[in-house]
């Protein structure tokens, strides 16, 4: 293991103070990471500064699909990129999907999860205060994806709306999880995919404000409670998705083993299903890519959600939940009960997502 790889892991995991993780984040890294992030922003904003603002002003005066698409292609790193995407998605119908282009996302790739009550949270020696108190919550039936959304799937969306594809850092695309996905990217994909399959769209997107219709039968992100219930194979006491034995974890999860030891053969992301699934047949719930959930994060939410039915997180916040740990982290961070969060705007090489659906009236 050389120093460049160590630095890569530190950068990809802790690059910004907005992406705080209360565990496994040395305070000493914060200042240098802030500087790195600021430099990256400065570099990305430097090219085309004047014409980029003029072009954006033109779009605001006369929103036009072709002009928005042109803006996305000419200024992929500009500060208005996210708003341009949202404007495009809100104002114009999605183009039809190319036949076979999203072949990995079929209803058969979703697992039905029978709802129940379970004890959510953790209180063992590795748990953090935000995982306590362990408390009972109840969930309705839902579906959840067997796999993380892959590059093959997300690239189909990008092609359909004329969006640039996100970097795979040379690790490979196709069946590897789509990374560099921020929370809004995931939400937009859910709505687009629902439209392709004639499901009702779950999300209403008004620039930065996103609301969910939980009765809709379309694709959506799991809630934090759904994610944990599914990772634990319907709320069992599993420490990681598929096992409670750390010696067995290498068969169930892609994670960072140690500086000297990388026995699983995947120093970065692994193609989905490279590791065994849990009892529900869900792969990579622990490790590989972090998975965005719907919920706003609140340190003390568990103190308020005892006995809740279908809890959906804090009513408002500044950071969204992500779960399951990643290829760049050690086993403690991959625990089913572990709660992490991230600024929903930020795109990191460790962040991806998984689909879910409400099961109420969904026809399958």
Interaction site with Ca ion (CB under 5 A): 254, 264, 266, 284, 288-289, 291, 324
User: Helix, strand or coil for residue 177?
Assistant: strand
Min CB(293)–Ca ion separation in Å? 12
Q: What is the DSSP string of 26-39?
A: -TTHHHHHHHHHHH
Min CB(148)–Ca ion separation in Å? 5
Min CB(170)–Ca ion separation in Å? 16
Q: To 5 degrees, how large is the angle CA 332–CA 325–CA 133?
A: 60
Nearer to Ca ion, 216 or 355 (CB): 355
Helix, strand and coil in the chain, % to nearest 5: 30, 15, 55
Pairing, β 356-358 against β 219-220: antiparallel
Nearer to Ca ion, 182 or 305 (CB): 182
Min CB(90)–Ca ion separation in Å? 29
Nearer to Ca ion, 161 or 241 (CB): 241
Nearer to Ca ion, 55 or 146 (CB): 146
Give the Å distances, CA to CA, from 157 to 86, 144, 152, 166, 194: 14, 20, 9, 11, 12
Min CB(230)–Ca ion separation in Å? 12
Nearer to Ca ion, 266 or 292 (CB): 266
Min CB(116)–Ca ion separation in Å? 23
Nearer to Ca ion, 94 or 266 (CB): 266
* DSSP E strands, 121-225: 135-138, 142-145, 203-206, 209-212, 219-220
Nearer to Ca ion, 291 or 298 (CB): 291
Nearer to Ca ion, 94 or 171 (CB): 171
Residue 246 CB burial class (10 angstroms; 0-12, 13-18, ≥19): exposed
Min CB(75)–Ca ion separation in Å? 31
Min CB(284)–Ca ion separation in Å? 4
- Tokens (6 digits) for 257: 């083993």
Residue 48 CB burial class (10 angstroms; 0-12, 13-18, ≥19): middle
Q: Is the peptide bond before 133 cis (omega within 30 degrees of 0)?
A: yes
The kind and range of the H/E element at 230 are: helix 224-231
* DSSP E strands, the chain: 110-113, 117-120, 135-138, 142-145, 203-206, 209-212, 219-220, 290-296, 320-323, 340-342, 351-352, 356-358
């Amino acid at each position: 293991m050389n120093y460049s790889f160590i630095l890569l892991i530190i950068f990809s995991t802790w690059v910004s103070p907005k992406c705080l993780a209360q565990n496994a984040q040395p305070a000493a890294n914060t200042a240098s990471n802030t500087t790195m992030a600021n430099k990256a922003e400065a570099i990305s904003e430097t090219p085309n500064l004047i014409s980029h603002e003029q072009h954006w002003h033109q779009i605001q005066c006369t929103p036009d699909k072709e002009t928005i698409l042109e803006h996305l292609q000419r200024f992929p790193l500009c500060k208005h990129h996210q708003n341009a995407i949202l404007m495009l998605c809100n104002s114009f119908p999605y183009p039809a999907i190319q036949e076979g282009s999203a072949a990995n996302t079929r209803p058969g790739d979703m697992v039905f999860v029978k709802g129940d009550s379970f004890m959510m949270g953790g209180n063992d020696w590795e748990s953090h205060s935000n995982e306590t108190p362990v408390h009972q919550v109840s969930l309705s039936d839902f579906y959840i994806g067997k796999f993380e959304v892959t590059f093959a799937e997300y690239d189909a969306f990008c092609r359909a709306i004329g969006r640039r594809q996100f970097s795979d850092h040379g690790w490979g695309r196709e069946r590897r999880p789509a990374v560099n996905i921020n929370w809004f990217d995931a939400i937009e994909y859910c709505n687009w995919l629902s439209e392709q399959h004639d499901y009702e769209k779950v999300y209403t997107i008004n620039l930065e404000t996103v609301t969910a219709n939980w009765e809709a039968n379309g694709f959506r992100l799991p809630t934090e409670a759904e994610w944990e219930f599914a990772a634990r194979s319907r709320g069992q006491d599993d420490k990681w998705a598929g096992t409670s034995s750390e010696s067995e974890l290498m068969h169930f999860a892609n994670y960072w083993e140690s500086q000297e030891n990388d026995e699983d053969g995947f120093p970065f992301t692994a193609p989905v299903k490279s590791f065994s699934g849990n009892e529900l047949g869900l792969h990579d719930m622990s490790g590989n890519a972090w998975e965005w959930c719907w919920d706003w994060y609140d340190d003390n939410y568990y103190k308020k959600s005892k006995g809740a039915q279908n809890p959906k997180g804090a009513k408002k916040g500044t950071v969204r939940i992500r779960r399951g740990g990643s290829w760049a982290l050690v086993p403690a961070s991959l625990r089913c009960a572990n709660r992490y969060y991230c600024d929903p705007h930020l795109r990191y090489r460790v962040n991806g997502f998984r689909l879910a659906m409400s099961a109420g009236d969904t026809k399958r």
